[in-house]
Amino acid sequence: MFAVLVFISKTFIPTPVDKVLIVVQALFLGLGSIMLAPLGGTIVSTIAGVLTSAWRPSFAPFTLGFAVLYGLLVDTFSMLFRVKAEDGSVRARRLVAAVTLATAVTGMASYYTTVYVLSLLPRNIVLEAAILVIGIINGVAGGYLATMVWAKALKHFVS
C-alpha cells in the first residue's frame, strides 16, 4: 500500500515538481522502515520503483536504482541510529535524522549521476545547493510526519 501511494505521488505530480516534492516518499519509506524492519523502506521503495519504471520506461534503470538506494539508505540509517525503541515507540529525532540523511544523499547521488556521469545537464552550483536544501526540508518533513503517524497508530494498538 505504501509503495502504491509513493507511485501515485511520483506519477500524478508533473516533472520536475515530483523531484522536488518527495515528502510523501520520505514519509512512507520512514513508516515502512519502522513497520517492516530491517528492510521495510527498501521493500516499499523497490515496489514503488518497479511501478514507476513501468510507467516511465525510458528512465527505468535510474528510477529503479535510485529508488532501491533511497530505501536501503533509510533502512541503514534507521538501524544505525536505532530508531525503534524496545517498547515499539520511535525515537523521533533519530527517525527524522535517518530519513533526512537518506534523502539528501540520494538527491545528491542522483544529481551527480545526471550531471557528471551521464552529462545530461550542465553543472549548476545554485541547483546543487537547492537540491541539498530541498532534500533536507523534505527529509525532515517526511521523518517528522512518519513519527507522528506512528505515534498515533501505536496508541490504537496499545489501548
Give percent of the chain above pLDDT 70. Answer: 98
Mean pLDDT of 88-116: 93
pLDDT digits (tens, 9 = 90+) for 17-70: 777 889 999 999 999 999 998 999 999 999 999 999 999 898 899 999 999 999
Which amino acid, residue 31? Answer: L
Q: Is the dihedral of CA 34, 42, 113, 4 positive or negative?
A: negative
User: How far is 112 from 159, CA to CA, in rounded Å?
Assistant: 48
Inter-residue long-range contacts of 79-88, CB under 8 Å, 24+ positions, other chains counted: 79/37, 79/38, 83/33, 83/34, 84/34, 84/37, 88/154, 88/157, 88/158
Hey, is 84 helix, strand or coil?
strand
pLDDT of residue 94: 97
84 forms beta bridges with 90
Confidence check: pLDDT of 159 > 70: no
Q: Which residues constitute the domain of residue 127?
A: 2-158
Q: How many domains does one find in the chain?
A: 1
Please state the separation of Cα 20 from the chain's center in Å: 12
User: How far is 73 from 66, CA to CA, in rounded Å?
Assistant: 10
Say which CATH number the domain at 96 has: 1.10.1760.20
